[in-house]
């Protein structure tokens, strides 16, 4: 058989370069051989993905050996410590994981030099559960990063538990015994590892979304990416700070109630047409539907639409055409508020911040304690502010002296339009307030149409009654308290 001279030259060159025959691809139509080097990647990646991976590895410290507490050190079946698998190039592994999560159509790399990794990632992208994860992370740089780090760590865990014999079998293509000639136990372990990786990645992505929602960056119309690193920062803070996680969970419960109450609320009469929708109200049908009644055939079609609530009808909504002032939440951060009271108070404050964004209003969050102990945060409508996370977890631990003088200053500072302003004080104690200050404040709140609630946690908070429309004592802040429903329906 004749061999093309080009083929001979290629083979000699490859021998000089210590290449193997596995790196040769022969084009029989041309009678030529070409070298196709093995790649360390299990997913087809581009240069952008490689550069992105370098940043992720540096940000998450993945190039360093993992640190374990003594009780968390990985051990084998005999209880002896085992060395955790650390890839020679974590950038390569992260590039594969990130590309699988981020790219719209990730493709497995068939020419991967690491057969263990190739099989793991090839099965990963074929799993039906991965499609759901991929739908959430696709083209989202922050959620993809969070998911890719979880996949990276789970693959490390899988690789650590493989025996050297199993790794050699995979690399040599020896699948051993078992159903259909495969090493069934190893295949089961690989599938279990992949499903666990997907499940944990989905949980991390869900936690990140919940944290973003708690900060008001989710379904209220805000763009979480408007603040660089906002989702990542919120996710890391939720992961590392139990108090922040508890506040976020409380905010989620209050926000769910607020959504329900806002949907049920009747703002005004239905005298404003805002568009066209589908329904069965004959009196609201548009002319294009009503004209079908003159044709016997089309009339039957219109009857079908009415029965199925699919006819085009005018949509009316009550719209309040008055200005809306800011929502102000002033949370007592005295030492006695520690524990569950401050967690639920901050959660309620976050839900009101969400409501302010939903209603295109300014929001003022204030933590206060003793005289001159005040932390304030102004949230502009439609603008994400990452400082809200720090406001949530900080605590003054002082006394109880409400900063009445600060409220008018905050109002002026926001530049909010004149209109109804809603103010909520949350406290667990009584205080002495100067009568002149109260009188001056009451004149201001009358002028600006302020509605003021005071919630006393475990106390009547009667001292706040001189400058509040309503003072309510509760044993704790929860969604079952009527005053909470009243406030969240503003």
pLDDT digits (tens, 9 = 90+) for 345-364: 999 999 999 999 888 889 99
CA distances from 162 to 65, 92, 114 (A): 19, 20, 14
Residue with tokens 């263990």, as numbered in its chain: 116
Residues of the chain with CATH 3.40.50.410: 324-488
Tokens of 178: 């078992």
Tokens of 460: 């009547």
pLDDT digits (tens, 9 = 90+) for 177-233: 444 445 677 888 899 999 999 999 999 999 888 888 878 776 544 454 455 457 888
A 10 A CB-CB count for 173 gives: 7
pLDDT tier at 11, thresholds 50, 70, 90: very low
**E strands, 398-477, in order:** 420-427, 450-457, 470-474
The top-scoring range by mean pLDDT among 3-17, 95-109, 284-298 is 95-109
β-partners of residue 108 are 43
β-partners of residue 363 are 327, 379
Residue positions counted in the chain: 490
CA distances from 349 to 252, 343, 461 (A): 11, 10, 19
Residue with tokens 């109804």, as numbered in its chain: 420
Does residue 97 contact residue 45 with C-beta atoms inside 8 Å?
A: no
pLDDT digits (tens, 9 = 90+) for 260-270: 888 876 544 45
pTM recorded for the entire structure: 0.70
Pairing verdict, β 324-332 and 311-317? unpaired
pLDDT score of 273: 62
**Three-class SS state of 357:** helix
Tokens of 72: 């968390």
Phi, psi of 252 (to 5 degrees): -65, -40
A 10 A CB-CB count for 269 gives: 10
pLDDT score of 168: 83
Mean pLDDT of the chain: 83
Residue with tokens 């050699």, as numbered in its chain: 168
CATH class of the domain defined by 324-488:
alpha beta
Strands in 374-379's sheet, in edge-to-edge order, are: 374-379, 363-368, 324-332, 420-427, 450-457, 470-474
pLDDT score of 183: 67
**Three-class SS state of 196:** helix
Query: What does the alpha-carbon distance between residue 232 and residue 397 come to, in Å, rounded to a whole number?
Result: 29
Query: Cα 9 to the chain's mean position, in Å?
Result: 56
pLDDT digits (tens, 9 = 90+) for 90-139: 999 999 999 999 999 999 999 999 999 999 999 999 999 999 999 999 99
Query: What does the alpha-carbon distance between residue 401 and residue 350 come to, in Å, rounded to a whole number?
Result: 22
Ramachandran sector of residue 364 (left: φ over 0; alpha: ψ -120 to 50; beta: rest): beta
**218 contacts: CB under 8 Å, gap ≥ 6:** 209, 212, 224
pLDDT score of 185: 77
Query: What does the alpha-carbon distance between residue 276 and residue 242 come to, in Å, rounded to a whole number?
Result: 47
pLDDT score of 137: 95
pLDDT score of 14: 47
β-partners of residue 426 are 331, 455
With residue 226 as reference, give the H or E element that holds it.
none
pLDDT score of 197: 96
**238 contacts: CB under 8 Å, gap ≥ 6:** 207, 208, 210, 211, 244, 245, 248
β-partners of residue 313 are 277, 285
**16 contacts: CB under 8 Å, gap ≥ 6:** none
pLDDT score of 407: 92
Residue of 129, 128, 101 lying closest to 43 (CA atoms): 101
pLDDT digits (tens, 9 = 90+) for 428-476: 988 888 889 999 999 998 888 889 999 999 999 899 999 999 999 999 9
**Lowest-confidence range among 43-47, 266-270, 299-303?**
266-270
pLDDT score of 314: 83
β-partners of residue 465 are none
pLDDT score of 2: 44
pLDDT score of 296: 84
Mean pLDDT across 147-168: 90
Tokens of 362: 């300014």
DSSP annotation of 244 reads: H
Residue of 151, 302, 143 lying closest to 211 (CA atoms): 143
pLDDT score of 271: 52
With residue 312 as reference, give the H or E element that holds it.
strand 311-317
pLDDT digits (tens, 9 = 90+) for 317-336: 655 545 578 999 999 999 99
pLDDT score of 281: 83
Query: What does the alpha-carbon distance between residue 348 and residue 168 come to, in Å, rounded to a whole number?
Result: 57
Query: What does the alpha-carbon distance between residue 251 and residue 393 come to, in Å, rounded to a whole number?
Result: 13
Query: What does the alpha-carbon distance between residue 346 and residue 338 come to, in Å, rounded to a whole number?
Result: 11
What percent of the chain shows pLDDT beyond 70? 82
């Amino acid at each position: 058989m004749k061999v093309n001279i080009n083929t001979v030259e290629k083979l000699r060159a490859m021998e000089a370069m210590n290449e193997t025959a596995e790196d040769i691809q022969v084009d029989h139509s041309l009678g030529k051989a070409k070298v196709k080097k093995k790649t360390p990647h299990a997913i087809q990646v581009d240069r952008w993905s490689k550069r992105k991976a370098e940043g992720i590895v540096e940000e998450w410290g993945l190039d360093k050996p993992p640190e374990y507490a003594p009780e968390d050190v990985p051990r084998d079946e005999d209880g002896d410590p085992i060395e955790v698998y650390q890839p020679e190039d974590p950038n390569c592994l992260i590039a594969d994981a990130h590309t699988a999560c981020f790219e719209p159509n990730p493709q497995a790399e068939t020419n991967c030099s690491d057969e263990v990794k190739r099989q793991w990632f090839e099965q990963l992208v074929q799993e039906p559960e991965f499609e759901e994860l991929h739908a959430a992370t696709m083209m989202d740089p922050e959620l993809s990063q969070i998911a890719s780090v979880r996949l990276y760590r789970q693959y490390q865990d899988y690789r650590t538990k493989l025996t050297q014999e199993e790794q050699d079998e995979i690399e040599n293509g020896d699948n051993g015994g078992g159903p259909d000639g495969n090493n069934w136990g190893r295949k089961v372990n690989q599938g279990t590892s992949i499903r666990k990786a997907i499940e944990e990645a989905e949980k991390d992505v869900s936690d990140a979304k919940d944290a973003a929602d708690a900060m008001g960056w989710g379904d209220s119309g805000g763009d979480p990416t408007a603040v660089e690193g906002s989702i990542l920062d919120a996710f890391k803070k939720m992961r590392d700070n139990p108090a922040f996680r508890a506040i976020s969970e409380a905010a989620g419960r209050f926000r769910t109630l607020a959504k329900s109450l806002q949907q049920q609320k009747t703002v005004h009469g239905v005298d404003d047409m805002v568009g066209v929708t589908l329904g069965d109200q004959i009196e609201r049908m548009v002319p294009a539907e009503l004209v079908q009644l003159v044709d016997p055939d089309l009339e039957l079609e219109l009857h079908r639409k009415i029965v199925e609530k699919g006819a085009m009808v005018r949509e009316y909504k009550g719209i309040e055409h008055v200005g809306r002032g800011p929502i102000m939440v002033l949370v007592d951060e005295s030492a006695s508020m520690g524990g569950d009271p401050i967690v639920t108070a901050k959660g309620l404050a976050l839900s009101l911040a969400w409501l302010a964004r939903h209603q295109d209003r300014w929001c003022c969050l204030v933590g206060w304690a003793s005289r001159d102990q005040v932390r304030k945060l102004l949230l502009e409508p439609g603008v994400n502010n990452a400082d809200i996370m720090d406001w949530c977890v900080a605590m003054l631990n002082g006394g109880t002296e409400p900063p009445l003088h600060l409220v008018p200053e905050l109002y002026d500072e926001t530049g909010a339009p004149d209109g109804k302003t809603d103010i909520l004080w949350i406290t667990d104690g009584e205080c002495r307030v100067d009568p002149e200050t109260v009188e001056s404040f009451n004149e201001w709140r009358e002028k600006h149409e302020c509605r003021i609630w005071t919630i006393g946690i475990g106390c009547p908070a009667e001292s706040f009654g001189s400058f509040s429309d309503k003072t309510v004592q509760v044993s704790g802040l929860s969604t079952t308290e009527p005053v909470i429903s009243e406030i969240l329906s503003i």
